[in-house]
Amino acid sequence: MSLADRPGHEVAAEVRRGSLKAVEVVEAAFKRIEQVDGRRPALGAEPQPDDQQFIHAFLLADRQRALAAAAAIDQKVAAGEDPGPLAGLPLAVKDIFCVRGTPSTAASRILANFVAPYSATPVERLEAAGAVVIGKVNLDEFTFGSSNESTAFLPPPGNPWRPTHVPGGSSGGSAAAVAAGESALSLATDTAGSIRQPAAFCGVVGLKPTYGRVSRYGLIAFASSLDCPGPAARNVTDVALALQAMAGRDPRDATTAAAPVPDYSERLEAGVAGMRIGLSSDYFRIVAPPVGGGEIETRPIDPDIEATIRQAAERLAQAGAVIVEDVPLSNTHLAIPAYFVISRVEAASNLHRYDGVKYGHRTADPVADLHQLYRKSRGEGFGTQVKLRILMGMYVSAEQYEMAYYEKALRVRTLIRRDFEEVFNPAGDYRLDALLTPTTPTTAFPLGAVYGDSVVMQYADALTVPANHAGIPGVSVPAGLSADGLPIGLQLLGADFSEATLLRIGRTWEQISADDAWRSQRPMVLAEVGP
Amino acid sequence: MPNPADGPITAEVFAHLVRLAQFELTEQERDYLRSELNGQLKAIRQLEAMEIGDELPITSHGVPYGPAIRPPIRQDEITGSPLADEILEGAPQVQDRYLVVPDIPHEELK
């Protein structure tokens, strides 16, 4: 097996011991990038015939910087020092985080020329734990999307399992890079499902921590009350190690929680005996318009996905868990309507800072006054989906609609939060340790099949966004492959700060399913790469 | 701006939103954006159908920041940044360490 495909925790352990060089690990990642990534995405690039054979995850792959960092880790080991639990692991950073000295673009023309003067806290912490930043990966512009197709840097990433299909979004580059072995880890963000949904589509593990568990300092803001940085990797153990490095208070982000950070690896192998895991019919259907448009309807999710999740529940029961059926989460269907309001209001507010004056794109056209400078710079710099979000934010927060929409949405958020509090209450009727749900209503869809229909696209997050409203943690873990060979993700949701429990259940699932036939399948782009 | 009640966003309201948002649009963008806004409003109006009283509190963050996890208030102290020059290097137009902007529309106060 190539170094690029090996589990990160094994690789890091060998680097720490000195039996493997961090430089070799990083070289293997760059070799894989050369094999599968294809041409580097560029602003407004025209499509080319062979684009859909490659991943196109990386906006920046900085070999020199990465090799220098890897060499420093090898020197530490040689000097008898411990380079940390992530020693030498390649890290692909979603280009929504500032990394000192690198272009930090948010996949937008308006920030295409912005070079970050500082690094985000999660980046600094992962590097301090030994991870090596190998580059920045693509995303939906300002994270606004669920397919990664709204990026200003084209071609958009493809799904390693089938590059004619989307990798999901907004962290499409992150999930794709990890799935294809281009990186062991990715640092991403989740505002409505942007880590978990692409993780499900690409067959990797993605964790959205509890709001406040990981610092947002240095993250380019979208919806500040919902944005959560978190890791993606190919297995649960690696995700636990990455979270360990990132989690905890940060004096530079006042919303980080002062709650103690547990050891996420300690009880990872402890199994699920006696744990109470809930299934809810509210997560096996969605209330959404049909693809192609039409009135909002209630319909079941993809039957392949439902069957996979129910089988996973049965097998967790055989491993000793207590499965609690028919758990009511009756406000789930309101999560997307409320998200349409809350996220747009926060986005419009956060994106007012882009003005062509302080940093980022400024129009080259002559302008008569400051207002014209704003209008031209923002008109040229923002993509269509960004403009759409800002306009909706303006509308629903206007004085005459605020009560009907924004305040109403914040009260619906209370109802969604209460649904979860009820089922996780240790003294309540359900007393759940976790909910087991599908991560997504469908598997990955073809590039171009949904993009442009902003309503249908938003419902790709129907099963992930409730956790963002409530602030609770969630993890997506590979659960199998659909009949047509695309990954299916299972989602585990838990009470505030229950990441250790969710990871433990996820790890148990990995062990239960370790010998399943689907586990030996590899993404399509790796077919010609060789073992 | 007239309130369209439960109707679609009119061209007039749309133009007002674009002014507030401060960007220029192409004709093609204009048609697409207004149509998508009205599509999204259909979904959003599910909220209007909900009977929720004002007594239900709002949630602006999911996780309640109780005393156990709330970080302490920090001292209000000036801590300089060594990054000022680098930040200025990122600005589109600078002169003598000032950001340069075109005329700022204003009215003289009497």
Place of tokens 């031209």: A376
Task: Report the distance separating Cα A197 and Cα A199, nearest Å.
Answer: 5
In this structure, what are the phi and psi dihedrals at residue B89, rounded to the nearest 5 degrees? -60, -25
Crossing angle of the two packed helices A236-246 and A121-128, in degrees rounded to 10: 110
Using an 8 Å Cβ cutoff, are A189 and A172 in contact? no
pLDDT per residue as tens digits for the range A222-278: 999 999 999 999 999 999 999 999 999 999 999 999 999 999 999 999 999 999 999
Spell out the domain ranges in chain A: 3-268, 335-405
Q: How many residues does chain B have?
A: 110
- What are the structure tokens assigned to B74, written together? 């920090």
Please indicate whether, in this complex, the C-beta atoms of A117 and B90 are within 8 angstroms of each other.
yes
Rounded to a whole number of angstroms, the distance from the CA of B110 to the nearest CA of chain A is: 23
B residues 37-56 lying closer than 8 A (beta carbon) to A: 37, 39-40, 42-48, 50, 52, 56
**Identity of the residue in A357, A374, A408 whose CB atom sits nearest the CB atom of B50:** A408
Place of tokens 């007239």: B2
- pLDDT (0 to 100) of residue B109: 83
Q: Is A340 on the interface with B (CB under 8 A)?
A: yes
- pLDDT (0 to 100) of residue A110: 98
Q: Please report residues of B whose CB lies closer than 8 A to that of A214.
A: none
Does the domain at residues A3-268 carry the CATH identifier 3.40.50.1010?
Answer: no
> Between vectors from CA A84 to CA A81 and to CA A90, what angle results, nearest 5°?
120
Q: Hey, which residues does B83 pair with through a beta bridge?
A: none
In this structure, what are the phi and psi dihedrals at residue A67, rounded to the nearest 5 degrees? -65, -35
pLDDT per residue as tens digits for the range A307-325: 999 999 999 999 999 999 9
Q: Which helix (H) or strand (E) segment is A133 a member of?
A: strand A132-137
Nearest chain A residue (CA) to B15: A391
Residues in Cβ contact with B70 at an 8 Å cutoff, skipping those fewer than 6 apart: A257, A258
Please provide the average confidence, as pLDDT, over all residues in chain B: 90
**Identity of the residue in A358, A359, A408 whose CB atom sits nearest the CB atom of B52:** A408
Nearest to A469 by CA among A341, A352, A348: A341
Please indicate whether, in this complex, the C-beta atoms of B92 and A357 are within 8 angstroms of each other.
yes
3-state DSSP assignment of residue A251: coil
| Residue type at position A56 | H
Please indicate whether, in this complex, the C-beta atoms of B22 and A375 are within 8 angstroms of each other.
yes
Q: Hey, which residues does A444 pair with through a beta bridge?
A: none
3-state DSSP assignment of residue A527: coil
Task: Report the distance separating Cα A11 and Cα A462, nearest Å.
Answer: 36
Nearest chain A residue (CA) to B65: A257
- What are the structure tokens assigned to A119, written together? 């690094």
Q: Which helix (H) or strand (E) segment is B88 a member of?
A: helix B84-89
Q: Is B78 on the interface with A (CB under 8 A)?
A: no
**Identity of the residue in B23, B71, B91 whose CB atom sits nearest the CB atom of A387:** B23
Residues in Cβ contact with A72 at an 8 Å cutoff, skipping those fewer than 6 apart: none
SS3 of A428-488: the string is CCCCCCEEEEECCCCCCCECCCCCCCHHHHHHHHCCCHHHHHHCCCEEEEEEEECCCCCEE
pLDDT per residue as tens digits for the range A29-66: 999 999 999 999 999 899 999 999 999 999 999 999 99
Residues in Cβ contact with A520 at an 8 Å cutoff, skipping those fewer than 6 apart: none
pLDDT band of residue B2 (cuts 50, 70, 90) is very low
A residues 314-333 lying closer than 8 A (beta carbon) to B: 333
3-state DSSP assignment of residue A146: coil
DSSP A346-362: HHHHHGGG--SSSSS--
pLDDT per residue as tens digits for the range A130-151: 999 999 999 999 999 999 999 9
Q: Hey, which residues does B99 pair with through a beta bridge?
A: B94
**B75 burial level (CB within 10 Å; 0-12, 13-18, 19+):** exposed
Strands (DSSP E) along B1-110, which ranges?
A: 94-95, 98-99
3-state DSSP assignment of residue A259: coil
Task: Report the distance separating Cα A112 and Cα A407, nearest Å.
Answer: 35
Using an 8 Å Cβ cutoff, are A444 and A164 in contact? no
pLDDT per residue as tens digits for the range A422-474: 999 999 999 999 999 999 999 999 999 999 999 999 999 999 999 999 999 99
A11-20, A353-362, A382-391, B48-57: lowest mean pLDDT where? B48-57
**Identity of the residue in B9, B32, B62 whose CB atom sits nearest the CB atom of A471:** B62
pLDDT at residue B6 greater than cutoff 80: no
Q: Give per-residue burial for A77-92: e unless 16+ CB within 10 Å, then b.
A: beeeeebbbbbbbbbb
pLDDT band of residue B3 (cuts 50, 70, 90) is very low
**A169 burial level (CB within 10 Å; 0-12, 13-18, 19+):** buried
Task: Report the distance separating Cα A260 and Cα A173, nearest Å.
Answer: 32
Nearest chain B residue (CA) to A339: B44
Please indicate whether, in this complex, the C-beta atoms of A340 and B40 are within 8 angstroms of each other.
yes
Cis peptide before A19 (omega within 30 of 0): no
Q: Is A254 on the interface with B (CB under 8 A)?
A: yes
Place of tokens 């099963």: A463
Please indicate whether, in this complex, the C-beta atoms of A410 and B60 are within 8 angstroms of each other.
yes
